[in-house]
Structure 1
């Protein structure tokens, strides 16, 4: 039996900080805590876009018998402003769970972006709208009589990574990373340190340092350490 995890609200300070952090740094920060938060194979469908927000999860399942249209997208009426929709369609490539109507609704209601374990359609429209959409690919075929809504706001598992309602999602050109809500503040702190370490290394090699020396000087083996922590570690016998 899995342990119950109490939800923790992600602060606006953390959300604002993530607007200035890339997924690579956040992934490195998660690695330092022994957590795998990357979603393999889910990539941006709209170049140049990114999104930051709390997860609103949606779970689909295969239709067992063809039935009348059930309006499986109507859940979106209940997605709060500022959320990132995480839609689990079991990685299916044969039917879509996102298109132009939902894109327009999301933009009109302050939804930050959409992450799909599956495919999306109407991509030309999504690109024109510059809406942050991340999925396994593109395919025009409808989900009608192929997939149906199973549940919302439940944990979903994508390639072994569990996404819980309220977890932090950050997506950019390198992909999508899931940050457990209980660890969001610490992950952000470490990611900021990672980016500072990398800036220091880049500055050093730009002024003539070898890569080996720069990485050694700025402790690239543990880039999530702050400058003070690096000094402390270096002084240990």
Structure 2
């Protein structure tokens, strides 16, 4: 499959290689690169933050939408959803659109232990989580809108499994690259990953030069005019 012009993503190894490069960057670098490339609308709501301070997440998106459960169908919906989760590849990032269910927790400590056992790359939820004290010790990247103690079992069903969803006001397609840090979450279209990451690395290098010049006493105004970064 040809992706991004001359770029060929061959299996999971290429995704891992890009994620390794992304982990040396910040979401600010990616956002700036997408701005320069006129790739818009790919930064999630600033309300979606890492549950554990300092965590980064990076990997291919596996998508699902949480909905209000239909009475009598809750168990069947969970079984259907869990069967799909068991097929998730190592390193995948589970992305959940939970806008309809802000009053319940869509993720918790037991789910986190399962995700770790499966080798997932992380979880990004447009919704709430719970069990934060116990999740903190697990050091697994979970991004969400905050927490609530209410369990989702019996209250939530799942649909649009591995289909395009709206998460944090951004359309996320299966296979998009999800990258998040303390500043938030960006969604990188796989077709554009090469040019975005290449440019983001250039921007980081420019910022390093600006940082050195600032330490040498140069004026910020002069450097902004010269390099165009801030």
Compute the TM-score of the two structures, normalised by the length of structure 2. 0.87
Which of 205, 209, 215 is matched with 2:218 structurally? 209
Pairs within 5 Å for 1:81-120: 81-90=90-99, 92-120=101-129
Question: In the alignment, what sits opposite 1:63?
Answer: 69
SS of aligned partner of 1:61: strand
Larger displacement relative to structure 2 (162-171 or 30-39): 30-39
Task: Please list every run of 5 or more consecutive structure 2 residues that lacks an aligned counterpart in the other structure.
Answer: none
How many angstroms apart in 2 are the aligned matches of 1:51 and 1:100?
Answer: 17
Q: Which moved more, 1:47-56 or 1:92-101?
A: 92-101
**Structure 2 vs 1, CA of residues 81 and 141 (structure 1 numbering), >3 Å: closer, same or farther?**
same
Cα distance change, pair 115–159 in 1 and its aligned pair in 2 (3 A): closer
| Separation (CA, whole Å) in 2 of partners of 1:197 and 1:92 | 43
Matched, 1:197 2:206: yes
- Where in structure 1 are there 5+ consecutive unaligned residues? 1-5, 222-237
1:215-226 paired onto structure 2 within 5 Å:
215-220=224-229
Q: Max radius of gyration: which structure?
A: 1
Residues 67, 91 of structure 1: alpha-carbon distance in 2 compared, 3 angstrom cutoff: closer
Offset of residue 116 of structure 1? 0.2
The Cα shift of 1:91 comes to: 5.8
- SS of match in other structure, 2:125: strand
- TM normalised by structure 1 equals 0.84
d(CA) in 2 for partners of 1:117, 1:96? 11
Alpha-carbon offset, residue 67 of structure 1: 4.3
Q: Kindly tell me: are residues 91 and 19 of structure 1, through their superposed partners in 2, closer, same or farther at Cα, counting changes over 3 Å?
A: farther
Write out per-residue CA displacement over residues 203-233 of structure 1, whole angstroms, 9 at most, x where no aligned residue: 1111010001112222338xxxxxxxxxxxx
Q: Which deviations, in whole Å up to 9, do the C-alpha atoms of 1:177-203 show, x marking residues without a partner?
A: 100110011110111111111111111
SS at match of 1:59: strand
Q: CA deviation at 1:56?
A: 0.8
Q: Work out the CA distance in 2 between the residues paired with 1:135 and 1:65.
A: 27
2:74, 2:157 within 8 Å by CA — same for their partners in 1?
A: no
Q: How many residues align?
A: 216
| SS of equivalent residue, structure 2 residue 113 | helix
